[in-house]
Amino acid sequence: MDWYPLLNSLRIAAISTTAVFFLGIFAAHWIAKLPPSLKGLLDVVLTLPLVLPPTVVGWLLLVLLGPRRPLGMWVQAVFGVRLVMTWWSAVFATVVVAFPLMYRTARGAFESFDRSLADAGRTLGRSNTWVFWRVQMPVCRQGILAGTVLAFARALGEYGATSMIAGYTPGRTATISTTVYQLWRTNDDAGAFRWVLVNVAISAVFLLAVNLLETRQRGGGR
């Protein structure tokens, strides 16, 4: 059994989740402090990929990054790198589709944060950066952790946008999701079922580990 789709899926999900973690936290922290009208407008823009069909997201990425598009042509001419039909092309797709989950979950956690705790830290002479990482983030860790889990799961299972921008090439761009589809198309139900079990097992183990971590954190806080 060729394990490349598993390794590639984990690699893509790990990279995109790391990027989404910092981007989502930054956007949520900044937007949570804005006026309601501006916050509502930015919410629509940033969460739009959550409601768009994945194929639409994939098409928009191709329009933006394709080799015959200005950005894609410039990157290929200057750096000699193609932005589509490579394994890292899938990272662009998974970042776009997973970002809204991290952003919305983190923003909800930040909005429920008791600002008096931050004010207390500042009265002790601590900087805003120190207060954010040492006070606000620990208090909001449950929401942050939930957003990270959702982002990872979404990135791991992404198919529509990934298949359009990265395609399916065994040993190069194949992921679990695209492999399942290709095996199904060729009537290899047994092979497709094996990869479905692999995906389910990874997701279940990851969610179980997160639940155990949350339980320990609650127990330690008592």
Whether residue 87 contacts residue 122, with contact meaning beta carbons closer than 8 Å, is answered with no
With a cut of 80, say whether residue 27 has pLDDT above it: yes
In the chain, domain spans: 4-220
CA distance linking residue 171 with residue 153, whole number of Å: 22
Beta strands, E only, 148-210 = none
Nearest CA among 1, 3, 5, 4 for reference residue 176: 5
DSSP 40: H
With a cut of 60, say whether residue 220 has pLDDT above it: no
Q: What is the mean pLDDT of residues 25-30?
A: 89
CA distance linking residue 106 with residue 20, whole number of Å: 11
Q: How confident is the model at residue 216 (pLDDT cuts 50, 70, 90)?
A: low
With a cut of 80, say whether residue 221 has pLDDT above it: no
- Give 32 or 52, the one with higher predicted confidence: 52
Run of H or E residues at 176: helix 176-185
Query: Domain 4-220 falls in which CATH fold?
Result: MetI-like fold (1.10.3720)
